[in-house]
Amino acid sequence: MLNVRWGYLALFVFLVLVQVLVLNNIHLGGYMNPQLYVFLVLLLPLNIPGLLLLSVAFVLGLIIDMFSDSLAIHAGATVFMAFCRPTVIRLVTGQFVAEDPERPSFSSFGTFSMIFYVIALVLAHHAVLFFLEVFRFSEVPHTLIRILLNTGFTALFVLLAFIFSDRPAGKKAR
């Protein structure tokens, strides 16, 4: 258990560094910018207490904000996403939770459910993120396009991260 916790802490630091130093400098086609750091919130164990989930999301978002001069829009978006997470998980797994899977993964959810899970939560995150950022209603169509494009881009990164993290982390857990 302790090992798992350190693992998450290391991942936290790693994701913040990758986001701030590398991904924030990527902008495809002018304004597409992957927000890979949400991967951490998606990866947290299924049985994590709700309060801890929200707190981790808030702190993570706030640190990203600190580095990208965006006040607290990432914090707001990540907290909203964490708030939606239990509902989406219930939606995806149905009433019964498969044999207590430790954390969301392709093997515990199934491919289709996993893709839905990632896209739904990334969309929730980006919707709040971009509307908080713009905060005016005159630019709604433009903002919607940004949300959709960026959701696709981020979801792609996150799904890739899930594919790569599936095997080694599974070994560690056993």
Partner 1 sequence: MRNLYRFILKYQFFFLFLFLEAVAIMLVFQHQQYQRTFYLHSANAISGRLLHMSNGVTSFLLLRQANRQLVEENTLLLNRQMENFMITDQQQFVARDSLYQARYTYQHARVINNSVTRRNNYMTLNKGSRHGIAPDMGVLLTNGVAGIVKDVTKNFSSVMSLLHSDMQLSVMLKRNGHIGSLRWEGRDYRLASVEYIPAHASLHLGDTIVTSGYSTIFPPGIFIGTLTDWEVRRGETFITATVELALDFNKLSYVYLVNNLMKEEQDGLELPLHSN
The residue ranges that bind partner 1 (CB under 8 A) are 20-21, 24-25, 27, 30-33, 50-51, 54-55, 57-58, 61-62, 65-73, 75-76, 79-80, 82-83, 86, 130, 132-136, 139, 142
Nearer to partner 1, 46 or 66 (CB): 66
Which residue number, 21 or 163, has a Cβ lying nearer to partner 1? 21
Q: Of 53 and 155, which CB lies nearer to partner 1 in the complex structure?
A: 53
Q: Nearest distance from residue 49's CB to partner 1, in Å?
A: 9
Q: Residue type for 110, please?
A: G
Of 112, 72, 74, give the one whose Cα is nearest residue 93: 112
Provide Rg for the chain, Cα atoms.
Answer: 16
Tokens 């919130």 belong to residue: 41
Helix, strand or coil, per DSSP, at residue 32: strand
